[in-house]
Chain A
Amino acid sequence: MPTFNFDLCELPPEAQSLRAEVREFLREALGGMSSSKRALSWGGFDREFSRQLGARGWIGMMWPKKYGGHERTALERYVVLEECLSAGAPVSAHWVADRQSGPLLLRFGTEEQRQRFLPRIARGELAFAIGMSEPDSGSDLASIRTRAEHVEGGYRVNGTKIWTSNAHISDYAIALFRTKVVPDKKHEGLSQFLVDLKSPGIRIRPIIDLAGGHHFNEVHFENAIVPDDMLVGKEGEGWRQVSTELAFERSGPERYLSSIRLIMELIREAGREPGERAAVVIGRLTAHLITLRQMSLSVAGMLQAGQNPNLEAAVVKDVGTSFEQEIPETVHALLGVEPRLGSGSQFERTLGYLVQHAPSFSLRGGTREILRGIIARGLGLR
C-alpha cells in the first residue's frame, strides 16, 4: 500500500536562536495589539509591518541573494512563519508573494522577471493576489474560461476572476488564463501571467464576507492587455505550474494555527487553577496543537531535504484545518459564552471573530473534499 511517512524533524540551533530574534521583533512591532485583532492572523494586511519584516531579512528567506533573498534554510523560514502566525502578526501584505508568487517566479519566471520582482517582494514592498477561481470554476479549477488571446505585443484578456483576496489593495496578481481552447482537454491550453492590477481594462469589485469584511473581490478583465514579458513559464504549461504552486500553499503552519488566539484566551479565562472540565478541554487542545506542530515541522524537514511531500502536506492541512475549525465549537460546548463583535471581553470578541471565520478554514487553499481526494489518491484508492 502506498502510504505517507512522517519523520520527526529537530530544528537546528541556528533556527532556535533566530526564534528569539523574531519573538523580540514581534513584541516591539505589535506592541499592545489586542487578542481579537491578533485573531485575524494572516487576514491582517499592513504594508508597514511587511516592510519592517523585509528589512530584517525575513521575507524571501530561501531565495538566492542575487534576487534579494537571504539563502537561509526552509527550517529557518519555518520558524519565522510560526512565530509570526502564533503572535497574530498581520502578514498578508507580503504573505502570498513570499509563500507562492515568489517561489513560482523563481522556478518558472524569466531572468528579467526575477530581477524585477523578487528583490521588491523580499523588501516587503510588493503585495500579490492570486487569480485562480472563476464564477463557474471553484474546486474544478481546470474548467476556467477567462481567455488570454495573443495579440500584437501581448495578450488580450477577457473574463472574470473571483474570491481574489486583497486584489483591491495589492500590486500584482498571478493569474491563470486560458490561452488556447483544446476541446475535451481542459488541463491543456492554460497559462500563468503576472498581472499589474492597475492596468486599464481591469475592474475590481468588492465581495463582502458574512462578517462584513472586505477581503474578497471579483476582478473583471475587459480587453485588458498583459504584455508578452509578463507570461510566467511556458504558454500552455499553466496546469503543471499551478499544481506546484498549490503544493507550496498547503504545507505551512498557517494550516493549524488560525485559532491559537482563542486557545490562549480560553486559558486566560479558565485561570491558573481551572476547573476539571476546562482543564480537560485545554489539555486535549494542547495535545492536538503539539502533535500538529510536529507534523507540520516534519513536512518542513522533508522540504528542506529536497523531497516532495505532497501527500503529507495534504494530510497536515486536512487534520490541521479540522482542528482549528473545531476550537470555537469546543469553546462553546465548554462555556457557552456568547460570541461578540465590538463590545464584550477580548475572549468573547476573539470567539466572535473565529466563529464567523472558521467555515473558511476548510475552504481556502483547496477544500476539505479536494484534500481528501488527494489523500485517497495517495493511498491508492483512486
Chain B
Amino acid sequence: MPGDKELRTLLADTCSGLFAAQVTPQLQESAEKGAWPEALWRQVEENGLTLPQVPESRGGAGGSWSDAHVVLITAGRHAVPLPIAETMMGGWLLAQSGLDVPMGPITLAPTSLHTRLTLTRNGKGWRLEGSAPRVPWGRQAEHVVVAAEDEGRPMIALVARGAASVEEDVNLALEPRDTLTWRAAPVVAAIPGPSVDRLWQLGALARAAQMAGGLEYLLAQSVKYVTERSQFGRTLASFQAIQHQLALLAGHTAAAGMAAQHAFATMDARGAANLGEAAFEVAVAKVRVGEAAGLGAGIAHQSHGAIGFTYEHSLHFVTRRLWSWRAEFGGESHWSLELGREVAARGAEALWPHLTSR
C-alpha cells in the first residue's frame, strides 16, 4: 500500500498535469473578461480536487488537510481562475457542521470581520438578511456558505445562487469579488456552527497555500527568464546582482512554503477537531507568506525587466493575485496583531516553551 507521501506526490502530479495543460494564457484572459471556465471546473471536480479533505460520507474525497495543501499550492502556482479554495473551505465547513455538501462551485461569506449577516426563523426554515461585500466568485458560485447569527448565536447556513442580488466587482487579478445582498432570502439549510472568525481563519489558510504556490511559480519563472535572456553578451543569470536577488527570492519562497505546510499539518493534527486549535499556525502562515508575497513579487518583476510589466507576459497572472490575496482574509498587520497579543499575554518566558510545544 502506498504511503501518505506517495499518494500526495500522485495528487500533486494529477493537479500539475491538469493545470499545466488547461490553464493557458488564453483561458486566463477569457476568465479575466468574465467568462466562467466551465470545462476546466468540471475536470477539476471530476478529479476530486475540489473537496479533497471533506469526508466521503458528505460527498468529499475523504483525504486530509495535507491533501488540500497539495491542491491549493498547485492551483496557486498555476493561478487557476476558479473558486477551488472557496469550495474546499465552504464544503468542509458544511460537512463539519453536519450538512451534506452540494456539487458545483461554492463560495464563502462574509469575507470581512465587520460584516454581520443574520438568520431569522421562518416556520421550519430560515431567512437570511444582510449584505456581504467582496464575496469571491459571488456571481458564479452555485452555493454560498454563510457564517451568520441567530440572536447572537453563530450559525452556518447554505444558500443557493439566486437568493441574493449581485453587484459585480473584481480584485486586482480580475477575479470576481461581488457584493451579495440577501433580503429575507430563503436558506437551503442552517445549523449552529463556527463563527465568522473561524471562517476567516479557513480563508486565510487557503490564501496562504495559494500564495506559497504563486511564489514557487515566481521563482521558477524568474530562474527560467534570467537563464534565457542575455545582455552585455552574457546571460542575466551570470550577473552576481541577479544571482543574489534570486537567492533572496528562494529564501522567501522556502519560508512561505514551510509556513503554509506547517499550518495545514496543524489542521490535520489538531484543527480538524477544533478549528481554534490551529488558529496560531494559520496566523503565522498568513503573516509569513504575505510578507514573502510582497517581497517576492518585487524581485520577480525586477529580474524580468520591462517585459514582465506587460500584459502579454504571464508573470502578472500570479503577481496581481499575490497583491490581492495577501490582503484577503486579513493582511499581515491583522494576523500579526492577533499573534502578538496572544504571545504577549502568555509572557516572555512562555515564548520558547509555547513554540516547542506545537
Give residues in A with beta carbon < 8 Å to B: 1, 3-4, 6, 8, 19, 23, 82, 86-87, 260, 263-265, 267-268, 270-274, 276, 278-284, 286-295, 298, 312, 315, 318-319, 322, 369, 371-373, 375-376, 378-382
Contact = CB atoms under 8 A, between A and B. Distances in A.
Contact of A268 (B246, B341, B348): B348
Contacts of A281: 336, 340
A3 B284 CA distance: 24
A76 to B, nearest CB: 14
A376 B244 contact: yes
Q: Choose among B224, B227, B335, B356 the residue with the greatest number of A CB atoms under 10 Å from its CB.
A: B356
Contacts of A87: 352
B173 interface: no
Contacts of A287: 259, 283-285, 287-288, 335-336, 339
A1 B336 CA distance: 34
Given A315-B250, A380-B223, A272 B340 contact: no
B60 interface: no
B254 interface: yes
Given A19-B356, A279-B341, A281-B340, A318 B247 contact: yes
Interface stretch (B86-94, B108-116, B235-243): B235-243
The 5 A-B residue pairs whose C-beta atoms are closest, nearest first, are A283-B340, A279-B340, A283-B339, A283-B336, A376-B243
Contacts of A82: 356
Given A86-B352, A315-B250, A274 B340 contact: yes
Contacts of B242: 381
B251 interface: yes
Contacts of A319: 251-252, 254-255
Contacts of A274: 340-341, 344
A267 B352 contact: no
A8 B265 contact: yes
A283 B334 CA distance: 10
Contacts of A294: 258-259, 261-262
Interface string B251-280: 110110111011001000000000000000
8 contacts: A1-B220, A4-B250, A6-B254, A6-B261, A279-B337, A283-B341, A286-B355, A287-B285
A267 B244 contact: no
A186 B276 CA distance: 58
Given A291-B259, A315-B254, A267 B344 contact: yes
A382 B243 contact: yes
Contact of B246 (A289, A291, A322, A379): A379
Contacts of A1: 220, 223-224
Contacts of B246: 376, 379, 381
A273 B343 CA distance: 10
Interface of B: 219-220, 223-224, 226-227, 237-238, 240, 242-244, 246-248, 250-252, 254-255, 257-259, 261-262, 265, 281, 283-285, 287-288, 291, 332-333, 335-345, 347-349, 351-353, 355-356, 358
B342 to A, nearest CB: 8
B346 to A, nearest CB: 8
Contacts of A23: 353
B285 to A, nearest CB: 8
B221 to A, nearest CB: 9
B218 to A, nearest CB: 12
A237 B358 CA distance: 44
Contacts of B259: 287, 290-291, 294
B334 to A, nearest CB: 9
A19 B344 CA distance: 23
A282 B261 CA distance: 22
A101 to B, nearest CB: 28
Nearest to B226: A381
Contacts of A3: 219-220
Contacts of A263: 351
Q: Choose among A271, A295, A378 the residue with the greatest number of B CB atoms under 10 Å from its CB.
A: A295
B343 A295 contact: no
A264 B348 CA distance: 5
A369 B244 CA distance: 7
A375 B258 contact: no
B341 to A, nearest CB: 5
Q: Choose among B219, B227, B288, B348 the residue with the greatest number of A CB atoms under 10 Å from its CB.
A: B348
Nearest to A265: B348
B336 A280 contact: yes
B278 to A, nearest CB: 13
Given A272-B345, A286-B284, 6 more contacts: A1-B224, A286-B340, A291-B258, A319-B252, A373-B240, A382-B237
Given A273-B344, A279-B341, A381-B226, A264 B349 contact: yes
Contacts of A322: 251
Contacts of A268: 347-348
Contacts of A265: 348
Given A280-B333, A283-B336, A382-B237, A267 B351 contact: yes
A371 B341 CA distance: 35
B340 A280 contact: yes
A89 to B, nearest CB: 13
Q: Choose among B238, B265, B335, B355 the residue with the greatest number of A CB atoms under 10 Å from its CB.
A: B355
Nearest to B287: A287
Contacts of A379: 219, 223, 246-247, 250
Given A6-B254, A268-B348, A380-B227, A280 B337 contact: yes
A82 B353 CA distance: 11
A270 B344 contact: yes
